[in-house]
Amino acid sequence: MRCLWFNMTLCVFSILTGFSQSSLNQFLTPSDTLNTKRRNAVIISEVALSSAALIGLNELWYADFERSKFQTINDNSEWLQMDKVGHVFSAYQIGKQGANLLNWSGVEKQDQLIYGATLGFGFLTAVEVLDGYSSEWGFSWGDIGANALGTGLYVSQELLWKEQRIDVKFSFRQTRYAEQRPDKLGASFFEQVLKDYNGQTYWLSFNLHAFFKESKIPKWLNVALGYGGEGMLSGIEVTDNQLLTNNLRYRQYYLSLDVNLNKIRTNSALLKSVFSVFNMIKIPFPSLEINKKGAVFHLFH
């Protein structure tokens, strides 16, 4: 696996260094008018990657569980709704990048919102259908609602303000709970990032300058409100001695500062592209946590 990542990195580096700086900037700069070659490349790539991802999930993930007739479940009370917030984040971010790719292709704004911003909702709905045919899970209308909320958050801001004043972001820290239930919360670090809801925090990051444009507030400065959960070893609260724990689950609310990487000035189209992708991650800052036990200050969250 390490060799694979090294070879991929070397390949990307070789491609990038093959361009001159001006050529690379020109390639990454969004087109002012419709560029059919770019648009077609984006559409073909999205269809191919989405299809490959769904086929891979079907063969590698769902193949370990028995198939069933299509079924629905109500899992809205599980995991302190952390999984639902995760769906909001995923739909928002996939839709945002989908719209950005069409913007890079010179597609009109209306079509960016119709065909790009809805990419996350469409892909996650397809995954939900696969859940519906698995005996282990089921089609969740709660997940569909969360997907719609994430997509709607992006589209509504573009329609109202023509910019994203509120970003949905993510941060993660490893916890002791994964060691107690690695089958549910992940054995490796990357599995824990996806499965351990105790270590996940989702943020609404507000760009202050966008709301107070006449002020002298730095354009890159954000204030972030976070939500997390603690003490979860299963979807619902149980009193099972086999879990070897007396942890009590509770919700966590956070207040912190953040950086809007998209507002950092640079003439490099490459850096702008990198900033656009990594802007989904909440920058570590001091934060105030409020939960049912009281208030806790974190130097870096």
The model's confidence at residue 63, banded by pLDDT at 50, 70 and 90, is confident
For 69-116, what is each residue's pLDDT tens digit?
Answer: 999 999 999 999 999 999 999 999 999 999 999 999 999 999 999 999
Q: Is the pLDDT of residue 237 over 50?
A: yes
The model's confidence at residue 247, banded by pLDDT at 50, 70 and 90, is low
Mean pLDDT in residue range 183-212: 95
**Predicted local confidence at residue 20, as pLDDT:** 54
pTM (predicted TM-score): 0.88
Give the per-residue SS3 of the chain. Answer: CHHHHHHHHHHHHHHHHHCCHHHHHHHHCCCCCCCHHHHHHHHHHHHHHHHHHHHHHHHHHHHHCCECCCCEECCCCHHHHHHHHHHHHHHHHHHHHHHHHHHHCCCCHHHHHHHHCCHHHHHHHHHHHHHHCECCCCEEHHHHHHHHHHHHHHHHHHHHHCCCCEEEEEEECCCCHHHHCHHHHCCCHHHHHHHCCCCEEEEEEEEHHHHCCCCCCCCCEEEEEEEEEECCCCCCCCCCHHHCCCCCCEEEEEEEEEECHHHCCCCCHHHHHHHHHHCCECCCCCEEEEECCEEEEECCC
